Structures are given as C-alpha cells and as structure tokens.
Amino acid sequence: MKSLKLAGFRINSFLNNINVKLVFRDKIDVNKWDAEVASSDVQNPLIYSWALDATCEWCAVIKEDYSFIFPIPFVKKFGVQRALQQAYSRQMDYIGSSEDFLSAIELIKKEFAECELRLTDADPGITDQKFQFLDFNLDYKYKSNADRLIKRASKLFSYETSANYQPLLKLYSQNSFKKFHQPKSNLLKLDNLMLRMIERKKGIVINSMHQGELVGSLFLIQDKSTMYYLIGDSNPNSKKEGVMFGLMNEAINFAKEKGLSRFDFGGSNVDSVAQFYKKFGAIDQYYTRITWNNLPFWFKILKRLKKS
C-alpha cells in the first residue's frame, strides 16, 4: 500500500478516508485549534497550541472541521515513536465525541509503539490516577493544623502578586527541581510555559516576602472558571514556618476574589503531597490513563540499561 512521509511520520494513505486523521504540528491551523479549546467545556489550559509548543513536540488527531481535536505529545528516538505525557501537564484531553476518540485511539496505535497519556474522562482506560481540587460552590474546611500554620505564616511573611516568574524559577531550580531528579531540559520547558502563560494574561505569581527577601513563591494559571496551581517552592527554613501553607491560602483566596468556581491543586498520587492539599479541604477526582507498550525487544533492553 502506498504511504506518504510527513515530518517523520509514515502515515498510510487509507487513514485519510476515515473520520479523523493524524496531523503533524506544522499542518495544524492554530487559530482554529485555540478557538476550539477556548470555547469548549473542557478545562485544560495545557492543550492550547502555544502551551503545547512550550513543553513538547506534538501532533494531533483531528477532524477536518476541528470538531474533534486530540493532542498527542510524542518523542522519537532510534526511529521509535512514543506518545508520552509531556512535562508539567497532568493530562491530554480531547475535544469532541467519544466515538471519534475511540477512532483516534485505534489510529494512534498504528503509529506509536508506546503510549502513556492521561485524560480527565475517557474509555477505554485505567482509572487509577487522582488529583485534588476545591469546588467553591461546595462547603469545604481547612484542617486545624493548616489554620495554625497559616496564622503563624501571617505573622512572619507578607504576600504580593507579580508577573515576574524568574525568581520563582530560580528558587524552584535550586530546591524541588533537584529533589525530584528531573531532566535538565524540563527547566527550559517550564520557563517557556510560564512565559507563554504570562504573555497571554493567564499566569500570575504569588510571592512570600520576609524583610524584603523572597522566601517562597508559587505560579497560578487562570483559565475559564478554574485556577490551577502549577508549581511552588520555598527555602527550607521558611517552609518550617508554614510559608507554603500561607502561600496556598493566598492562592485560594485570590481565586475566590476573581469569582472563579474551582481551584485545581494539580494533584498527586503521592500520598504525602495529596494529604497536604487535603489540609485545605480538597477532595479527590480520578482520571484515566491510556497506556500500551509494543516497543521492540531491543528498545526495552536499552530502557532497562539506562535505568540501571
């Protein structure tokens, strides 16, 4: 069967005859794409084209009229294509019908030897992931130790909002970034992402100050009716004094003052992190993982050797 080569992908010509098709980034109409994201009920600011551009190489499964779009972050190494969740994004949601989504899954199975993507709601999938959020339309209550640490922090620290994320990036690179042993390339992706959010008036920094010195900071993303917590960090001494509790309280209050309906903590399956969010009254929401591994035997061996 005749096939065509499109920026590294070999896509069989028969795929053009189905309702959805796989399209490389440079063939995507970003104006149509971003308009669909902005007008949809799906709440995920990391699927705007410019947010994807900041954090990964990507393609997408789309319908010609853009009534269905599904971004696919991917990496290609040694000729093997792998659809993998990109850095600093919890999930890759689709916009459109579930029937088209099922067709999209069958399509990308033909192109990607490995898949590890996460979605808010989707079938088929493995629903074993969770994140934490606050719904401001429902009652919620801080835990007593959270209240205590917030009060302590209020006596030591002051808070301010800012559009300058570079001090936070430096603080994060010196602390949490090293702790979680991330690849160095992720720091540049984070820099790019925060810059894009600030440029589009969707990002805001909240700083915690002590005697004129930055001791803690976090980055928020506002989109539609939700405020999202992206990253935050502090120096170790201030953390002991409750600075992150104070910052998170400021972030939640900031979102409420904006008239938003939801605060998304970003979420974690790590129990200690999830318990921190739950001290603010957050509740769990489960989401889906789409996964398969059809990697060649030799590639699996290389992956094991790299980890050892």
CATH number, residue 105:
3.40.630
What SS3 string covers the chain? CCEEEECCEEEEHHHHHCCCEEEEHHHCCHHHHHHHHHHCCCCCHHHCHHHHHHHCEEEEEECCCCCCEEEEEEEEECCEEEEECCCCCCCCCCECCHHHHHHHHHHHHCCCCEEEEEECCCCCCEEEEEEEEEECCCCCCCCHHHHHHHHHHHHHCEEEEECCCHHHHHHHHHCHHHHCCCCCHHHHHHHHHHHHHHHCCCEEEEEEEECCEEEEEEEEEEECCEEEEEEEEECHHHHHCCHHHHHHHHHHHHHHHCCCCEEECCCCCCHHHHHHHHCCCCEEEEEEEEEEECCCHHHHHHHHHHHC
What is the tens place of the pLDDT at every residue in 253-294?
999 999 999 999 986 677 888 999 999 999 998 889 999 998
How many domains in the chain? 2
User: Does some domain include residue 136?
Assistant: no
User: Does some domain include residue 135?
Assistant: no
The answer on 236 and 199 residing in a single domain is: yes
Q: Structural domain of residue 202, as residue ranges?
A: 141-281
User: Does some domain include residue 132?
Assistant: no
The domain that contains 190 carries what CATH number? 3.40.630.30
The answer on 148 and 253 residing in a single domain is: yes
User: What is d(CA 39, CA 238) in angstroms, rounded to the nearest whole number?
Assistant: 41
Question: Quick check: pTM over 0.85?
Answer: yes
Q: Determine the pLDDT at residue 301.
A: 81
The answer on 151 and 258 residing in a single domain is: yes
Q: Determine the pLDDT at residue 10.
A: 40
What is the tens place of the pLDDT at every residue in 193-240?
999 999 999 999 999 999 999 999 999 999 999 999 999 999 999 999
User: What is d(CA 211, CA 143) in angstroms, rounded to the nearest whole number?
Assistant: 29
The answer on 303 and 274 residing in a single domain is: no
Q: What are the two backbone dihedrals, phi and then psi, of residue 231, each rounded to the nearest 5 degrees?
A: -145, 165
Mean pLDDT of the chain: 90
